Amino acid sequence: MPDDNSGSILNNIIVYGHATTAQVCGINGGNESVPTLVFPDGSTLTEPTVAQISQKLSTLGYKVGPMAWLIGNSWRIFIALLVLIALLRLLGFF
């Protein structure tokens, strides 16, 4: 939930030495896994990918822009570009 005027639903909390440590451990079966995200509906994600965060925010009604898709799929885009360059070099275009 927003805690300032930015409209952000995210809060950054330092876990170590904080009362939140118990909450994070409770969510993660005793592990202090971070990042652990707690959403306004009470659901959680632990060490999520960009795609998982994007999907969750969409289900909560938040608009997720194309930049999230690009970030979440950057490794696939990189591999596709490498394969394309290799094929073009093989065919003599480079």
pLDDT of res. 9 = 62
Contact yes or no for 28/40 (Cβ under 8 A): no
- Omega before 2 within 30 of 0, i.e. cis: no
pTM of the model: 0.57
Query: Whose CA is closest to 26, among 48, 53, 46, 55?
Result: 46
Per-residue pLDDT of the chain (94 residues; tens, 9 = 90+): 444 455 556 666 665 666 677 878 888 888 877 788 888 888 889 888 888 988 898 899 988 888 888 887 889 999 999 999 999 999 999 7
Q: Distance between CA atoms of 65 and 58, rounded to whole angstroms?
A: 10
pLDDT of res. 76 = 92
Q: Where are the beta strands (DSSP E) in 1-92?
A: 36-38, 44-46
